[in-house]
Amino acid sequence: ESRRSNPVGAARDYEAALKLDPRYADAINLAAIRSMQGQSAAAIDLLDQAIAVDRRNPLAFYNRGYAEFALKQYDKAIADYSSAIELEPRMGLAYNNRALSRAIAGSDLVAALADSDQALKLLPLNLEVRDTRGFIFLKLGDPALALAEYNAALTIDPNRALSLYGRGLARIRMGDAAGKGDQEAALTINPE
């Protein structure tokens, strides 16, 4: 049985490995499982240990940033995504997540857009990147550019709830009543 299909079994394996060798690199993998289980604080503790062992692992910083984001610790997430990017400049998702963290925190929308531009260069087909860009453009007050980003995502996946909802917001801000229909469709696909 693979670790992907059985995260509980995988977590037990990683915990056993860490008991044998607390410096074991699988702390990062166990942390990812803890994040998926909604245990972000436990994930951060494991990643703190992994980073103490090896400060040159970009995935440890990326995963810690992800867990911090889940806890709404945006400044910490931004710092960890920055560390991941410094160690691995081609980590497109780190650019995307740092852009989203910056946009949500409202700390630096120009830097968020620059991160988003880099994420798009590295991951031109990634729908999360398109959604982040749309969100940034909405925050910048440019619903037309936001609409273009959401439409690009919906061209690839017409049932993507987040993109539909974002497109609805952009349309509404542009005075287009069809935006309500987009939002209703998004909520039908994913009520959350």
Model pLDDT for residues 152-166, shown as the tens digit of each residue: 999 999 999 999 999
pTM: 0.83
- Residue 24's identity, in one-letter code, is Y
Answer whether 68's CB lies under 8 Å from 38's CB: no
Q: Three-state SS across 24-50?
A: CCCHHHHHHHHHHCCCHHHHHHHHHHH
Residue 191: DSSP 8-state: -
The Cα 174–Cα 179 span in angstroms is: 9
| pLDDT exceeds cutoff 80 at 143 | yes
| pLDDT exceeds cutoff 70 at 29 | no
106 three-class SS: coil
> What pLDDT score was predicted for residue 171?
98
Q: Which two tokens stand for residue 24?
A: 């074991």
Give the pLDDT mean for 164-175. Answer: 98
Q: Is 141 buried (19+), middle (13-18) or exposed (0-12) by CB count in 10 A?
A: exposed
Give the pLDDT mean for 85-96. Answer: 98
The Cα 94–Cα 119 span in angstroms is: 8
> What pLDDT score was predicted for residue 12?
58
> What pLDDT score was predicted for residue 47?
85
Q: Taking phi first (over 0 means left), then psi (-120 to 50 degrees means alpha), and beta for anything else, what does residue 78 get?
A: alpha
Q: Is 175 buried (19+), middle (13-18) or exposed (0-12) by CB count in 10 A?
A: exposed
* % residues pLDDT > 70 (the chain): 84
> What pLDDT band is residue 1 in, cutting at 50, 70 and 90?
very low
| pLDDT exceeds cutoff 50 at 24 | no
Give the pLDDT mean for 127-143. Answer: 97
Most confident of the following: 47-51, 53-57, 152-156 = 152-156
Report which of 39, 25, 29 is spatially closest to residue 9, judged by C-alpha positions. 29
Q: Which two tokens stand for residue 163?
A: 């993109």
Secondary structure (DSSP) of 111-154: HHHHHHHHHHHH-TT-HHHHHHHHHHHHHTT-HHHHHHHHHHHH
> What pLDDT score was predicted for residue 20?
39
The Cα 22–Cα 19 span in angstroms is: 6
**pLDDT averaged over the chain?**
88
